[in-house]
Amino acid sequence: MDIRMKKRIAETLSIIVCAAGLSASPQTLRADGAPAEYILEKGNVRAVFDGQGRLASLSNTETGHEWTGGGHLWRLYFDERRTPDGTPFAQVREEREIPIVPEEQTPVMSFKDGRLEISYGSLKCRGRTLAMCLELSAEQEENGMLRFSASIENSEPHTIVRELHYPLVRNCSLPEGAELLVTEHGGMRLDDPVGRIARPGHSPLYMGPDQEFRQLEHWGYGTYKYPAYTAANCFAFLNEREGLYVASHDPSFQDTMHILRCWPDAKGVFNRLEAGLAKYPNVICGGKWRNGTNVLLPYSGDWRVTAKTYRAWANTWWKKRKVPDWCRRMTGWHRVIFRHQYGKDFFTPADLNGRIAKAGDSAGLDTTLCFGWWRRGMDNGYPDSYFETEPDWGGDDGWRRAIASYRASGHNFLLYFNGKLIDMESDFYLKGPGRKICYHTAAGEPMVEQYRFASSGTFTKLYNARSFATADAREPEWMSFLEKAVDRAIDFGASGVFFDQLGSCEPAANFDTSGEFSIPNVRTIAAKAEALAHLRDYIEAKGLHDFAIGTEAFVDCSAQSADYIHNVVGAAGPENFTEWIRYAFPECIVSDREIRDDTDIEWRVNHNLLVGLVSDVEIWRCRGLIDDTPNYQKKLAEVNALRKEHPILLTGMFTGPDGITVGSDNGLLAYGFTEGDRVAVVVCTPRDRAASGSVSVEGKTAVDGVADFNLPVNGIAVVEFAAVKQPPSGKSP
């Protein structure tokens, strides 16, 4: 029997096997009888792996789109300390990020019970054989989603396996009109993904190897890293019909890089798109590591599929507590610095129930988020300074009286603390535990951050910036301070407490330098989330169910323990897509940001109502009040009047476009908020345009407001719908 006949028989058997529903079986055989292909197929997801362990095909059988042109699934990097025998390690040569590539390896592949396994008993690198074992696997879940697992065992002396890129979708092919959806700052949609990534210079001043590949950067920190200002551990390529969802469903919340690269073709053009995920095992000699959390899902539908898929996984660990009722009804806050870093006073406690209350009331704001209330002023002396108030302001009693008066007049007051910064001039750092419990670099030195607020001169900003170390949230001494901060806010009579920078994760990490290799903590956000959960429990244990806790920046695992979240960007830019976190996590109260003066007001305030963001009013970067900005004051008063008329916009859940039909050919925007059987729909025009049309909600009728609109430039309206009640059988309505 010749080779062609063998192949024809194998293909015929493949058709029979697939028709019988036995997916994930070897589809074709080589001439020697070994499998040439392995297929995983379930639902509308079909993945084909060749005999070398490469992803040969990844397709959506419903749409017919093929997502990959084929390629290897992984890369691995290790560090090594090389020395002749007897040389002290302080004098050795260290090489970092040494690549191990699959092209140099020969895998052993097997398939059993719907699971494809790819095994490398040792790994080759530059002609050497390393005592490192890599085991990979792929299997499918009920919805067709592909789950990729990996395990690493390192027995090679004086090495550490630093990172694993897996899975990788190489030579990625995008459908027409596809965008890149990332969860940076709550969501962004970036058009022309290949052109965006391939643009040179993403690494500042060509600090990356741009001659080898181009890589999408996140604020200059490398690729998009969860959770450094990335709200969730996923991204997607998508249009309105289909997409490819890439995620790490990792309940340990380890750091994950979102690999977004373009490699050059044969002509040197950077157009070969690569997408995937990277984890950081840091496996030293004698160590083992395993992870089975990375997933791929080609899907049919629009962006909401990605949010629903991620939330379905988040529901396996999500434990959101009931938000205090007053906090749920909060329209936002005045964010105000009383005394700044350079000693200038902008307000005193006497202003709280005076000008601050009056200005807030004029725009429908009933809450103040209070910064710089301690004697040394904003970003000074942390954490010692929080326990020293200004005698000329009446000290602690002066604040208690001012807060009590403000709250008695129907307002709420949130007291600021920084959740991570330790002033390197503070006693806590110089004489206490600060130096020991802060982040340390790979060299064992304290990691330094600086905050450069400016007064009217230049000296302070240029030469006298405050220097801070970053506290490790795992340390008991820091948790003790955070508990004392909660107690101080309670003692002051505040409505709640705010911990700045405790909800998000900086791109740095705390290194353990006690061993042969420095090893970073790759679960920083998990530690911060655990700290917030502990503080929430600490408050609950006191029976203070109406006392709120808030933090900065939306990250999924920390957001579950915060009653309100001060987000890090304004979210109304042309690429912002905060709809993603609002849809995936609608019960979370999230603010806008960056409206700091009286310009570009109308669209940004309309957008906040459209997607359900509360207002962070930070005039002159928290040095002024909204009555300093009459355009903003008027517009916010208009929008907050709509919130007062339709409280479901605050107490309901954001459901976005679900069930809504918009009859318009000129861009009318409409999103819904659902509570019980009622839906409030916010309708507005696109930026700087008029628009008209009608809005309807499936199965409901308009009960408050009209459903036909002819809105002027920057117009906005709200209409409520309720379930259509059917008349009794046999009776006309």
Q: What pLDDT band is residue 706 in, cutting at 50, 70 and 90?
A: confident
Least confident of 130-134, 199-203, 686-690, 692-696: 199-203
State the Cα–Cα distance between residues 693 and 710, nearest whole angstrom: 7
The two three-digit tokens of residue 217, written as one number: 């950067």
Residue 382 clears pLDDT 80, i.e. is over it: yes
pLDDT for res 8: 40
Regarding beta strands 123-125 and 128-130, do their DSSP bridges make them parallel or antiparallel, or are they unpaired?
A: antiparallel
Regarding beta strands 115-120 and 123-125, do their DSSP bridges make them parallel or antiparallel, or are they unpaired?
A: unpaired
In the chain, the percentage of residues whose pLDDT exceeds 70 is: 91
DSSP 609-644: HHHTPBEEE-TTTTTS-GGG-HHHHHHHHHHHHHHH
Residue 343 clears pLDDT 80, i.e. is over it: yes
- The domain ranges of the chain are 3-65, 75-314, 325-641, 653-723
The two three-digit tokens of residue 547, written as one number: 């006392």
Of 322, 309, 330, which is closest to residue 238 (Cα–Cα)? Answer: 309
Least confident of 365-379, 497-511, 598-612: 497-511
How confident is the model over 169-187, as a mean pLDDT? 96
Residue 363 clears pLDDT 70, i.e. is over it: yes
Strand order in the sheet with 230-238: 108-112, 115-120, 132-140, 146-154, 287-300, 242-248, 230-238, 179-184, 188-190
pLDDT tens string 424-463: 999 999 999 999 999 999 999 999 998 888 888 888 888 8
CATH 3.20.20.80 fits 325-641, yes or no: yes
How confident is the model over 677-684, as a mean pLDDT? 97
Contacts for 429 with CB less than 8 Å, ≥ 6 apart? 422, 423, 435, 438, 469
How confident is the model over 249-270, as a mean pLDDT? 96
**Three-class HEC string of 332-399:** EEEEEECECCCCCECCCHHHHHHHHHHHHHHCCCCEEEEECCCCCCCCCCCCHHHHCCCHHHCHHHHH
- Between residues 730 and 70, which one has the greater pLDDT? 70
CA 224 to chain centre: 10
End-to-end, the C-alpha distance of the chain in Å comes to 77
How confident is the model over 409-435, as a mean pLDDT? 98
Of 234, 285, 43, 53, which is closest to residue 145 (Cα–Cα)? Answer: 43
State the Cα–Cα distance between residues 332 and 360, nearest whole angstrom: 10
State the Cα–Cα distance between residues 719 and 713, nearest whole angstrom: 19
pLDDT tens string 631-667: 999 999 999 999 999 999 999 999 999 999 999 888 9
State the Cα–Cα distance between residues 110 and 662, nearest whole angstrom: 52
pLDDT tens string 201-226: 655 667 778 889 998 876 544 457 89
Question: Mean pLDDT score of the chain, rounded to an integer?
Answer: 91
Phi–psi pair at 123, nearest 5 degrees:
-125, 140
How confident is the model over 346-355, as a mean pLDDT? 98
Beta carbons of 276 and 166 less than 8 angstroms apart: yes
Give me the CATH topology for the region 653-723.
Immunoglobulin-like (2.60.40)
Give me the CATH topology for the region 75-314.
Beta-galactosidase; Chain A, domain 5 (2.70.98)
